[in-house]
Amino acid sequence: MSKKARLEQEKSAILAHIAEKGAPMSLGEIEKTLSLSINKKTLQRRIWSMVEEGVLLSSGEKSHTKYYVYQDRNVVKSVSKVSIEDKHPIFSSDVMSLLSYLDTPSYAREKSSYQFALVDNYIPNKTQYLPEAIRVRLHEAGKRFHEQLAAGTYAKKISQRLLIDLSYNSSRLEGNTYSKLDTQKLIEQGLTAEGKVHEEAVMIMNHKEAIEFLIESAEEIVVNAFTIRNIHALLSQDLLANPNACGNVRQVQVFIGKSAYLPLSNPHQLNEYLSLILRKADKIEDPFEKSFFLLIHLSYLQPFEDVNKRTARLACNIPFIQNNLCPLSFIDVPQEDYFKSLLYFYEKNQFEPAIELFEWAYLRSCQQYDVVTDSLGEIDAYRIQYRADRKRAMGHIIRKKLDEAAANHYLEQYCRDNNITSEDKFISMTLSDLSQLHEGSIIGLGVTEKMFLEWQSMQ
C-alpha cells in the first residue's frame, strides 16, 4: 500500500469512528477507543489535517478541544460506509457537481468579464440572494439579545476573542502561516513568531486595527465608500508597494489567479459601481442578505489594487455588529472551498456554492461564540446604561487635557451633577476605557485626532 493510500485509510477510519460515537470526542478519548493501531502524535496530525480540510470540526481549546463530524448535511450515509470523499461537509452533492466545472484548467474555461446587470438589476428588499428559510435559520442561530441594545454591544462583549478569531481566520484564508496561538500572542502581547515573514505579522495587526475600528464605530458607522475605503486603508497599510493605493479605488488592471474572470479595469466605472453597490447594500434591511451582498459584490468588483477579499470579509460583518448578532469569523472554513465558491461566482455568476459556504460558516461561528458567551457571563447592564455619560466625560477630559488627578476630580463632580449611581464603579470604568483609547476608537467622543494625540502625549 502506498503512503498516500495508507494515510487516507487512516483518516477514513478515524472519521468513521468519531461519526459512529455521535458526540464530540477529545484526542484522548479517540486514542483509547480507536481500534486502529496508530501512535498519539500521528493520530493528532491526522486529526489536525482533517480539521484543516473541513471534514472534521472542533470545539473548545487546548486540552478541552473535542472533535466531531458535522451531521446536518448528511456528511456520512452510514458509519460503515464513511469515507473522506463520501460527502462534503459544506457543499451539497448538487453544488459539488457545479464546482466540478473548476476542475478544468482556467485557460480552458470560457473567459468572463464583470457583469454590470448583477448590481443594476438588484432591488434592495425585493431581490433576495438568500432564501427566506436560510435567513430565518441564521437569524435564530445568531440572535444574542432579546432586548434592544446599542449597536456593537455584543461585539464589545466578545471583542478580544473576535479580534483573535477574525484576524487569524481571515489572514489564514490569504495563506498566512501564523498559528492561532501565535496570532493571539501577537495581538495581546505584540510578540512576533519566529521563522515568519514580517508581512504576516503586519497583515494580522492590520486586521486587529480594522476590527477595532468596526467595533468602536458601531453606533455611527454607515455602509458607504468612506467606511469601506477606510477599512481597506487599515487592512492594507504598510503592505502595498504603492502607499497611495491604500484606501483608494485602483487605477490599474488586476488579475485573479487560476481564474478565467477578468475584473473591471476602468477607474471611473470602478468608482461608480463601488458607490452603487454600497448605496444598495445600505438600503437592505435583512442583516444576512446585506452581509452576503457585501461579501460577494466587493469580492467580485475588486475595487482596490489588492486586499479586496479581506475588505469584503470585514465589511460583511458590519450588519452583524450593528444588530448585535453573532459575527462571521470564517472559523474552520477551508481555504480551497472558500476560493472555489468565489471563483464559481466570478465565472458563472451563480450563487449556490457561495450561499452554502456562507450558511455553513455562519452556523460554525455561532457554535464557537455560544461557548465564548457562556464563559463571559451576562452583559454588564451598568456599562450599557451609562455608555453615553462615559463618552461625554471622556470627550471633556481629552478636550481639556486633564491629567489623571484632574480627571478623577472632574469625574467625581460629573457623577454628582448627573446623579450617577455607584460613583466609584463609573469612575473606574471611565478611566479604564480612557487608558485603552487609540486613534481608531475615538469616534463619538466629540474630539479630533489631533486633540487626542495632544492629550495622550501629556499622560
Written as one string, the DSSP assignment of 118-158 is HHHT--TTTS-SS-HHHHHHHHHHHB--SS---TTHHHHHT
Half-sphere exposure in the Cβ direction for 416 (13 Å, CA): 5
Structural domain spans, the chain = 3-81, 97-376, 381-457
Does the pLDDT of residue 458 top 90, yes or no? Answer: no
Output DSSP code: residue 379.
-
Please give the backbone phi and psi of residue 447, each rounded to the nearest 5 degrees, phi first: -130, 155
What is the model's pLDDT at position 28? Answer: 84
Angle between helices 404-417 and 423-435 (to 10 degrees): 140
Write down the residue that cell numbers 450593528 correspond to: 322
Contact 162, 155 (CB under 8 A): yes
What is the model's pLDDT at position 381? Answer: 60
Nearest alpha-carbon partner for 238 in 228, 226, 246 = 246
**Poorest-pLDDT segment among 65-79, 118-132, 202-216:** 65-79
Quick one: which H or E segment has residue 279? Answer: helix 267-283
Domain 97-376 matching CATH 1.10.1270.20: the answer reads no
Q: Which amino acid is at 76?
A: V
What is the model's pLDDT at position 84? Answer: 42
What is the model's pLDDT at position 292? Answer: 98
Contact 293, 281 (CB under 8 A): yes
Strands 66-68 and 261-262: unpaired
pLDDT tens per residue across span 14-56 = 888 888 777 788 888 888 888 777 888 888 888 888 887 777 8
pLDDT tens per residue across span 152-191 = 777 887 888 889 999 999 999 999 999 999 999 999 888 8
Does the pLDDT of residue 61 top 80, yes or no? Answer: no
Contact 345, 104 (CB under 8 A): no
**Poorest-pLDDT segment among 299-308, 337-346, 367-376, 403-412:** 367-376
Write down the residue that cell numbers 459556504 correspond to: 357
Angle between helices 132-142 and 287-301 (to 10 degrees): 110
What is the model's pLDDT at position 246? Answer: 94
- Read off the C-alpha cell for 261: 474572470
What is the model's pLDDT at position 277? Answer: 97
Averaged over 85-91, what is the pLDDT? 76
Nearest alpha-carbon partner for 249 in 206, 308, 305, 295 = 305
For residue 452, give Cα distances in angstroms to 113, 209, 325, 388, 446. Answer: 46, 17, 31, 18, 10
Averaged over 419-448, what is the pLDDT? 84
Q: Residue 358: which pLDDT band, with cuts at 50, 70 and 90?
A: very high
- Residue 330 to residue 352: CA distance in whole angstroms: 18
Does the pLDDT of residue 348 top 60, yes or no? Answer: yes
Q: CB under 8 Å to 454, separation ≥6 — which residues?
A: 401
Write down the residue that cell numbers 473606574 correspond to: 428
What is the model's pLDDT at position 371? Answer: 57
pLDDT tens per residue across span 106-137 = 999 999 999 999 999 999 999 999 999 999 99
* Domain 3-81, second-level architecture: Orthogonal Bundle (1.10)
**How many other CB atoms are found less than 10 A from the CB of residue 417?**
8
Report the phi/psi class of residue 247: left, alpha or beta, with left for phi > 0 and alpha for psi in -120 to 50. Answer: left
pLDDT tens per residue across span 216-237 = 888 888 999 999 999 999 999 9
What is the model's pLDDT at position 234? Answer: 94
Q: Average per-residue pLDDT in the chain?
A: 86
What is the model's pLDDT at position 74? Answer: 41
- Residue 241 to residue 62: CA distance in whole angstroms: 38
Averaged over 63-72, what is the pLDDT? 70
What is the model's pLDDT at position 329? Answer: 95
Q: Which amino acid is at 75?
A: V
The length of the chain in residues reads 459
- Residue 338 to residue 356: CA distance in whole angstroms: 10
